[in-house]
Structure formats: structure tokens, C-alpha cells
Amino acid sequence: MKKVMVFGTFDIVHCGHLHMFEEAKEYGDELVVVVARDVNVERIKETGAMHTEEERYYFLDRIKTIDRVILGERQDVYKVIREERPDVIALGYDQKIYVDLLADKISEFGLNSQIVRLVPYEPNKFKSSKIKKYIERVV
């Protein structure tokens, strides 16, 4: 069974994410989605998430394309890769955080995980930062 893993905050799940999950699932049999911990979201995005890690987990756990949802690690964000041993790591088209060391970590863990970059789905419309800006304007 071929395991595919994706990572993200998934604060406002939209059609772009659903497309991402469907595309990632095409690379294997089991799709595992890793949800970023609140502490890491705050450190990376400086504003934090609208929804808690538990809320984001709860929502993703109900999407039928996803086979399993897990919370990422608070300190060693690569630990989940070492433990889960994915065959494929599917990155979002604009994903930049923790990507620079990814190939080195895979090698360090003795894995042969393939790294793939997923294509965007209407990025001018379905992008979390754009949706958040719109919400801020209307609220």
C-alpha cells in the first residue's frame, strides 16, 4: 500500500485544498494529512490561525478523500515523516516552509520518499490568504 502525505495549516478549507487532496491521493492508496500545530502556525504566520488545531483536525477528518488526519509535531516537524514513512510527500504549489531541508531529512531517515509538487487550482480565487483578506474586509 502506497502512502501519500501532505502538510498544512488548513485554517480555511476551500476548493483549492479539496483539489489538492484529490490530486495527492492519485499518487497512492492512503492519504495522510498532517495538520500544523497552533504553536508552529503562530511562529510561521505571525498571526496564528482562526481555528484551533483541534478544530482544523475535526474538519479535515470528515473529508472522504483523506484516509487519516494527524497532528504534526510541535518541535521536530520532520518527526512525523520518520515515523509514518510516506512513499510520497505531496507539496502544495506554493508551499515553502520546511521544504528546503525536506530531501536531506528523507535521506537522513533512510527513506526513498518521492517529493511531488501539486498544481494550483484557481489560485486567484482559492487561496487562503486571499479568502482571509476578503473576510477581514466584509466583517
For residues 119 and 131, the model is more confident at: 119
For 101, other C-beta atoms within 10 Å of its C-beta total 11
Q: Which CATH class is domain 3-138?
A: alpha beta
Q: pLDDT band at 129, cuts 50/70/90?
A: low
Confidence grade of residue 27 (pLDDT, cut at 50, 70, 90): very high
Question: What is the arithmetic mean of pLDDT over 64-86?
Answer: 96
Q: Nearest-CA neighbor of 73 among 100, 41, 37, 31? A: 37
For residue 106, give every residue at least 6 positions away whose Cβ sits within 8 Å of its Cβ, in sequence order, or none: 81, 89, 112, 113, 115
Model pTM score: 0.87
In the predicted model, what is the mean pLDDT of residues 12-28? 94
Average pLDDT, the chain: 89
